[in-house]
Amino acid sequence: MHNLYAIFAKFLDICKMFSADLVNEKGNIPRRGVVPKFSDLEVISLSLAAESIGIDSESFLFSKLNGYKDDFSSLISRRQYNDRRKLTIGLCNQVRERIASKVDGGEAIFCIDSMPIEVCRPIRSKRCKMGKNNYDKAPNYGYCASQGKHYYGSLVSG
């Protein structure tokens, strides 16, 4: 099982590194009003942590967070989290772009998702013209255990 708080803490450190000039010392987008206890960077980090372990439902996320009440002492409500996440979408995108630019080592292709992309059915793979001129970019055969089927479409690693 994943330790949601440990993943959140790692994402928070990463977000702090890449957003130093975008947020104030408390980790919030500079704006008037009350300073929230759960900072904007913490909202973004919680969102990224949830995405990284496959939690795509706020309801499921907050049911998981019930087990971490001691770790998340200043956690906001689900409604506030949803509102703040919408408010910080621009900051989140800027942080993601900075992380991606730092990761970029000049590669031509990035594969982020682990789910295979099927080019065509295996029966039609002989007629597929993708990668016939450039073998390095040609798809190959694979097997997806989670779906229990063979596919033609994963890239040849090289």
What digits encode the pLDDT tens for the residues 71-113?
Answer: 888 889 999 999 999 999 999 889 888 888 887 666 666 665 5
Residue 56 pLDDT: 81
Q: Give the CB-side neighbour count of residue 99, counting CA atoms within 13 A.
A: 15
Query: Domain spans of the chain?
Result: 4-103, 122-155
Residue 53 to residue 148: CA distance in whole angstroms: 22
Residue 30 has pLDDT above 80, yes or no: yes
Tell me, what's the pLDDT at 122? 78
Contacts of 34 (CB under 8 A, 6+ apart): none
> Residue 46: its pLDDT value, please?
93
Dmax (CA) for the chain in angstroms is: 63
Q: What pLDDT is recorded for position 117?
A: 67
pLDDT band per the 50, 70, 90 thresholds, residue 41 = very high
> Please, are residues 99 and 14 in contact by the beta-carbon 8 Å criterion?
yes
User: Would you say residue 158 has pLDDT above 50?
Assistant: no
What does the pLDDT read at residue 44?
93
* H-helix or E-strand spanning residue 45: helix 40-52
Beta bridge partners of 155: 139
Average pLDDT score over the chain: 82
Indicate if the pLDDT at residue 153 is higher than 90: no
Taking CA atoms, 94 is separated from 20, 55, 97, in Å, by 12, 22, 5
| 28 DSSP 8-state letter | S
DSSP sequence for 90-146: HHHHHHHHHHHHHH--S-S------S---SB-GGGGGG--TTSS-GGG-EEEEEETT
